[in-house]
Structure 1
Amino acid sequence: MIRFIRLINFKRFENQLLEFRPLTLISGLNSTGKSTVLQSLLLLRQSYQQDLLPKTGLALNGDLVSIGTAQDALYESAKENHISFEICWENYEATWNFNYNPDEKEEDVLNVISEPDNTEIYKSNIFSQNFHYLQAERIGPRSFNEMSDYQVRRLRQIGTRGEYTAHFLYIYGRKAIPIVNLSYPQAKSMDLIDQVEAWMREVSPGIRIEIEANSAMGLVNIKYFYGDSNRYRATNVGFGITYTLSIIVAILSSPPGTLILVENPEAHLHPRGQAKMGELLALAASYGIQVVIETHSDHILNGIRLAVHGGIITPHYVQLHYFQQQEKQRQADTKVVSPHIDRDGRIDRWPDGFFDEWEKSLDILLEPAVGD
């Protein structure tokens, strides 16, 4: 379990320490550096997968994330030509230092200056199969989805866009979920497919899932139906179903110790579904899965607050970070404010812009209309 990370001279941050807990929620205005936090973890994993870590360097571009050039990665007002990532787990910590060469600012690999002495770190969830990352731009409904034995069977991944979710369910759908406490009470069995169906009914009541594969063509087809209804293509049931399915599969298929990063879990979901998603994320975090989400949704936040209030997750397991933009002479820097949540689900402070737009709009609506 990650306890904190420190980013030095990376993009918008000169020196920023961020505490992590089992459930960490990152929010803020656009272009304030929220994604930068997730990118630091993704860059380390990506570099390891490209065999550049531990000895060679940091791969700025790849399947997980694309930063651009070395100049794009360096903090604009950096006083030293290096980028550092420090991560502290429960029992150990590690620091990676990478060199920025001004003469090679268009390069997309930063050379290693120093690295952790403990190579056991590379067995942690950041570098192992116990990891899922779902980016904001996930795939929408498709009549057919690709299969990948390498990603699904060997790496047990569903893809950063959820593109292998259908194949994953086809392969592992009849395996029991690893964490019994995440089971849905009314599900038909503990099998992954039945549990996914049950949780999906919180988004679309009564929904059922059917999966067919054509291995010869390398395609898998997922259809939905309700009771005795006809089978519907994914393209006929809306984006919210497809976007939500990959998140629920990632959660329910994960053993304790897994790290899950999710951008915009609220995408294409109705408000009730967003609140239920917040509760499910909180439930997963309470049973050993570390969840880091980047969100703009007050409904996701309220779902987490309800989970705290209902005793699903202890408030000590929840960390909130709000990113505020600060204008300086040469650039826009970011200030991170970290409100706390109490046992009743109440938040101790609400910095300007922290999920307060509805309250501001309501105050305006309560005023007399213009012209009255």
Structure 2
Amino acid sequence: MLKTLDVTAYKCIEAESFDLAPLTLITGTNSSGKSTVLQAILVGMSYLKQEKLSYLRDLVKPYVQLDDVLCRTADADQVGIGLTSEGDCKFQTFITESLQGVIGDRDDLYEYEETLFYLSANRSGPEELAELSKELKIGAQGQYALGYLEQRKDKPISPELCRSEAPAQTLKAQLAWWLGYITGTQCEAVTSKVTSTRIKLSFVMGDLGEVSPLNTGAGNSYLLKLLIMCLAARPGHLLLIENPEIHLHPGAQSRLGEFFAFLASRGVQLVVETHCEHLINRVRYEVYHKRLKADGALVYYKQSSEERFLQLGFLPTGHFCNSDGEQVNFPTGFFDSTLGELLEMG
């Protein structure tokens, strides 16, 4: 599990250190630098030796060109990204004009699409036919997730991640339980192989029967790929996720927060960029009910690209606290963004 991230002169971050919890939530205004945190982790990982390094290098290619990513307000001529894992294993990545490299205690900490997974905000939506990859499990756009489901649907997932309410420990059964629970509907994904590299998807929607993904809510398809990635994980794996709440209604967004808290409480580490107050509030509720330890989650909030990230923790009561453990309120302009209008209306 990653413990800290140190970033120097990268994009809009001059020099900041981040403690990383089992569940770390990154939020703030648009274009303030939230995705930069996830990109920094990916860039750091892209200099570790691993089997699928070429795929990760291709993924981070836009994020390692010095002219594009060097912080314009920092007095620096290189980017530095440092990561520390449990056991104080450390490695540092540098991006300079002449070279890009890594110095560290070990080079096998995480492997892309094996123990490290990333799902970008720009991911694929509803589709009847999807590609099956023999190299990657999920893909940064989730483009291979349905192929992974077809290959592994009758295999058990990690026992630590199994819900007893589901009829079996298989990926298909656990996926159907979470999909139905989060959406609040009867919904099951059904896949079949069309060719050796093409997969067909449909949803079984209760009494409606089989429905094409193109003829049901887009939220089901976006959520499905996210759930496949998460349930493919095991304790000790690291998941980087952008905007998981895409196309979900508020109740589903809240239950997604419960899902993330569930994963974090069972040893999967998540770094999640989100704009969703319903998701964050549900994580608070899970802490309040002791289903996630208070020190199992952190929130980082960034008001603008010029300001630093504000770190907030959780008290056992579910309230926010500062680094000294003192109860504090969330910064204005997020949870209270419409409070003035509501008070005016009475």
Superposition TM-score, scaled by structure 2 size: 0.90
Alignment map for 1:78-227 (pairs within 5 Å): 78-101=74-97, 111-112=99-100, 115-116=103-104, 118=105, 120=106, 122-125=107-110, 127=112, 129-151=114-136, 157-180=137-160, 182-202=161-181, 203-216=183-196, 218-227=197-206
Q: Counterpart of 2:9 in 1: which secondary structure?
A: strand
Decide whether the 8 Å contact of 1:84 with 1:95 is kept in 2. no
Note closer, same or farther for the CA distance 1:126–1:315 as it changes in structure 2 (3 Å cut).
farther
Is residue 337 of structure 2 the alignment partner of residue 352 of structure 1? no
Alpha-carbon shift at residue 3 of structure 1 (Å): 1.1
Distance 1:231 1:345 in 2: 41
Give 1:73's match in structure 2, choosing from 69, 73, 76: 69
Give 1:341's match in structure 2, choosing from 286, 303, 314: 314
Give 1:304's match in structure 2, choosing from 274, 283, 292: 283
Amino acid paired to 1:179: P
Note closer, same or farther for the CA distance 1:312–1:16 as it changes in structure 2 (3 Å cut).
same
Alignment map for 1:222-233 (pairs within 5 Å): 222-227=201-206, 229-233=208-212
Q: How many residues align?
A: 338
Q: Counterpart of 2:17 in 1: which secondary structure?
A: strand
Amino acid paired to 2:109: S
Alpha-carbon shift at residue 269 of structure 1 (Å): 0.4
Note closer, same or farther for the CA distance 1:223–1:183 as it changes in structure 2 (3 Å cut).
same
Match of 1:266 in 2: 245
Distance 1:345 1:208 in 2: 33
Amino acid paired to 2:99: N
Note closer, same or farther for the CA distance 1:93–1:353 as it changes in structure 2 (3 Å cut).
farther
Alpha-carbon shift at residue 123 of structure 1 (Å): 1.8
Is residue 69 of structure 2 the alignment partner of residue 42 of structure 1? no
Decide whether the 8 Å contact of 1:159 with 1:165 is kept in 2. yes
Identity percentage over the alignment? 27
Alignment map for 1:45-60 (pairs within 5 Å): 45-48=45-48
Amino acid paired to 1:9: A
Is residue 9 of structure 2 the alignment partner of residue 13 of structure 1? no
Could you say which structure has the larger radius of gyration? 1
Match of 2:33 in 1: 33
Q: Counterpart of 2:313 in 1: which secondary structure?
A: coil
Match of 2:2 in 1: 2
Note closer, same or farther for the CA distance 1:150–1:51 as it changes in structure 2 (3 Å cut).
closer
User: Structure 1: any 5+ residue segments left out of the alignment?
Assistant: 102-109, 152-156, 326-331, 367-372
Q: Counterpart of 1:163 in 2: which secondary structure?
A: coil
Amino acid paired to 1:150: E
Q: Counterpart of 1:96 in 2: which secondary structure?
A: strand
Note closer, same or farther for the CA distance 1:60–1:129 as it changes in structure 2 (3 Å cut).
closer
Amino acid paired to 1:13: I
Q: Counterpart of 1:198 in 2: which secondary structure?
A: helix
| 1:268-287 superposed Cα distances (whole Å, 9 cap, x missing partner) | 00111000000000110011
Amino acid paired to 2:69: A
Amino acid paired to 2:36: T
Distance 1:15 1:164 in 2: 36
Alpha-carbon shift at residue 65 of structure 1 (Å): 5.7
Amino acid paired to 1:136: A
Note closer, same or farther for the CA distance 1:257–1:333 as it changes in structure 2 (3 Å cut).
same
Decide whether the 8 Å contact of 2:78 with 2:94 is kept in 1. yes
Q: Counterpart of 1:36 in 2: which secondary structure?
A: helix
Superposed CA RMSD in Å reads: 2.4
Note closer, same or farther for the CA distance 1:40–1:292 as it changes in structure 2 (3 Å cut).
same
User: Structure 2: any 5+ residue segments left out of the alignment?
Assistant: 321-327
